[in-house]
Amino acid sequence: MKEQPPNGKDRRKASEEDPPQESPAPDDAPAEEPALSDLSDKQLLKKLLRYTEEFQLLGPDQSTAAMNRRVELTRLMRGVQDVRDAREPLIEVRVPRSVTGEPFQVGPRSFPPGQHTVRSSVAQYLLWMIAENQRIEMKRLEQHGREIDLGSIGGRARVATISRDRGEDEWTGRGR
């Protein structure tokens, strides 16, 4: 048995230490994965789907190991998505005024009326939101009676039309 110094520490010099263990042979080492930027779009999507599936499988598991893996998977998915986003082309979109007057929201970003340069996936979603907004407004205006509710703008327009009315059309209620 070796004699230990009184403080309990082994006082050997670095040169006297055991030689470092040799690293495993290159054949035994796991193959390094290529950088995310070297992967094709299809490979990135496949990797993202694999990470997403694993994340969902770990959902109900509340163990520490599962939570740590979910955190790691979140970081990996964010890295893959960042590479995919960087490859998307930039598109210029003209955003009209919404029916309510509020700017369109996509995630944390707000899009008031005007020109905006965004990635193609954001542009797709934004254009869908604009189309839905316009479709709902057109459906609201599609009333089958004479009264069409145009909101406050419609009320002002109706008052302006009545004040200019000369009684020449058949919709004035005066008849001919």
DSSP character string of 105-170: EETTEEE-SEEEEEEHHHHHHHHHHHHHHHHHHHHHH--SSS----HHHHHHHHHHHHHH--S-SG
Tell me, what's the pLDDT at 62?
87
pLDDT of the residue at 29: 44
What is the pLDDT tens value at each position of the chain, 176 positions in all? 555 555 555 555 544 555 555 545 445 445 677 788 788 888 888 999 999 999 998 888 889 999 999 999 999 999 998 898 888 899 999 999 988 888 999 889 999 999 999 999 899 999 999 999 988 888 877 765 555 556 666 666 666 665 555 556 555 555 54
Count the Cβ atoms, other than its own, within 10 Å of residue 51.
Answer: 20
Q: How far is CA 67 from CA 60, 61, 84, in A?
A: 10, 8, 26
Domain ranges of the chain: 35-87, 89-162
The pTM assigned to this predicted structure is: 0.51
Yes or no: say if 76 and 51 are a contact pair by the CB < 8 Å rule: yes
Tallying the residues shown for the chain, one arrives at 176
